[in-house]
A and B are shown apart, each in its own frame.
Chain A
Amino acid sequence: MKALVCVKRVIDYNVKIRVKTDKSGVETENVKMSMNPFDEIAVEEAVRMKEKSQVSEIIVLSVGSDKSQETIRSGLAMGGDRGILIKTENDQVEPLNVAKIIKYICDKEKPDLIILGKQAIDDDCNQTGQMLATLLGIPQATFASELKKNEDNTIDVTREVDGGLETIRVGIPCVITTDLRLNEPRYASLPNIMKAKQKKIELIEIDELGIDIKRRLEILEVNEPPERKPGIKVENVESLVDKLKNEAKVL
């Protein structure tokens, strides 16, 4: 099986974000950027499948500015074989357009398995995988917490859904989106980081694809969330219960 893993460059999850003073967005200048954590889980899963000889080749794909090459490179250091970057002016291409771009690559590369994070931690959309599966007309298994490949070229995917776990059996090719507990991504070792520098990343300008990536959603403004009023510290349990009963009236 050939696997395509899609990765996005986002503000590192440990960074406390700052809203720009002109409200046009979130400050990304001089901020530490990393691979979207859910996409890291996607890369890890593909690498584990390759180690089990279930996957023969792993392509790491990203859509974004030149700097997204670094993100692809970290995927290659984890065990990806080669990379593709669809170059756009910025990293803020909308999910529907990203799905169209990935479809273009799928038509060319014909992967059996497409794995990507369930959502990016910047825009929190949770859409790209579902849209891609729809455009390709192939099954989707979202929010995966366990994959089991069967003999007959189907995959049993356990999904984290509200109220429990659902298992579905999907045929190949398919799109899988990863949830947090699918695996714990490895740290790339220094030798593997060095080796990744030799791996090939193909650069394709977005204009070559003939896909219109004009935004459909206008971002009018971005604001800080309303802050909660500062609370008080209570002395003891009795006082806590008293406040909850008589002041907040929630007990």
Chain B
Amino acid sequence: MKILVVIEHDNKNIKQPSFSTITAANEIDSNVEAIILGKDLDKTLDSLKKSNGLKKIYAVDSEIFENPIAENLSLTISKFIDGKSFTHILSPSSTFGKNMSPKLSALLDVQQISDITKVINNETFERPIYAGNAIAKVKSNDPTKVITVRSTCFEPVKLDSNVEIEKLSLNVDKNSSINFVKYDQSKSDRPELTSAKIIISGGRGMQNGDNFKLLEGIADKLGAAMGASRAAVDAGFVPNDWQVGQTGKIVAPDLYIAVGISGAIQHIAGIKDSKYIACINKDEEAPIFNFSDYGLVGDLFDVLPKLEENL
């Protein structure tokens, strides 16, 4: 067996889900290599080469990979793997991987296995369906398994190695009918939702965007990331990328604090791998209490200032 992991990064730092994907790869077999495509990769490679669980890193450094355009990435990777007998190709199940990996799968004429949460053996995996309300155990009969990995289900690898790097020059013409225009990064000094140890989220119960300030003080004290339910995002309280849930971000922090969130199925699907869930809600019948380790029935406008004080 020979496994290839496609690394996600922003030309400066390796994205955390890449390190979890390497862990998943090693649960299939220890013969794991990685490929990284980007522009001015020296600094990025310095951190990637420390990764445990890799036998070798292939790096493609080119102008055309300044931005992650899926067409250019998938074509280059398929050129690279041609004749190299990789049995598995894994990518993180982030928007990067979701965008690129099915293209690779179509180029190889194999059926991708999306969003695996568990490795059973080299051809059998578990993956959630119906927003995590059922878990399917699937066996792939394709010669090459193209897989995306739900990173919150695998611990990231440790970083104390020194992996060999081979620089490749693969000449692929930039696809001229797709052009990058811009990237608007959401600005925040807080940790990212998908890697935070503690998350505090607000729902429709927050009533408006201003009231999210009540969560800020607590987030500051805890070093927590801030999130929201789909209801709060749809109501325009907070930006889109705060959304936690099946249609937003899937998270798995040590502690998830749900404030004024009723606990719709799709929200629960995004948080149920959290180690501990605490909730604050004035409706004691709210479904969120069934999923919480610690529930506090109360008006969030009374509770939040007290909570901040007590931390």
Contact = CB atoms under 8 A, between A and B. Distances in A.
A143 B69 CA distance: 14
B296 interface: yes
Chain A to chain B: the 6 pairs with minimum beta-carbon distance, closest first: A171-B177, A216-B111, A130-B102, A134-B106, A127-B102, A231-B293
A159 B95 CA distance: 10
Contacts of A121: 130-131
A49 to B, nearest CB: 19
B114 interface: yes
Contacts of A123: 129
Contacts of B103: 130-131, 133-134, 140
Interface of B: 15, 67, 69-71, 74, 94-96, 98-103, 105-107, 109-115, 124, 128-142, 175-186, 192, 194, 197-198, 222, 230, 240-241, 246-247, 249, 254-255, 265, 272, 275-278, 284, 289-298, 303, 306-307, 310-311
Contacts of B128: 124, 225
26 contacts: A17-B133, A17-B134, A19-B134, A96-B110, A99-B106, A121-B131, A124-B130, A127-B114, A161-B183, A162-B241, A166-B183, A167-B182, A167-B184, A168-B178, A170-B177, A170-B179, A171-B177, A217-B141, A218-B140, A220-B124, A220-B137, A222-B137, A225-B272, A237-B306, A248-B293, A251-B222
Contact of B130 (A17, A163, A169, A233): A17
Interface residues of A, number: 73
Nearest to A135: B106
B99 A168 contact: no
A121 B185 CA distance: 28
Given A122-B130, A131-B106, A240-B278, A233 B295 contact: yes
A210 interface: no
A139 B129 contact: no
A89 B211 CA distance: 52
A41 B175 CA distance: 28
Interface string A211-251: 00001111111111100111111101110110110001011
Interface of A: 11, 16-17, 19, 26, 94-96, 99, 121-128, 130-131, 133-135, 138-140, 142-143, 145, 156, 159-171, 174, 180-181, 215-225, 228-234, 236-238, 240-241, 243-244, 248, 250-251
Given A121-B131, A142-B70, 20 more contacts: A95-B102, A96-B105, A126-B115, A131-B103, A140-B99, A160-B240, A167-B180, A220-B137, A220-B138, A225-B132, A225-B133, A228-B291, A231-B289, A233-B294, A240-B278, A241-B307, A244-B255, A244-B276, A244-B278, A251-B311
> Chain B binding site: helix, strand, loop or mixed by DSSP?
mixed
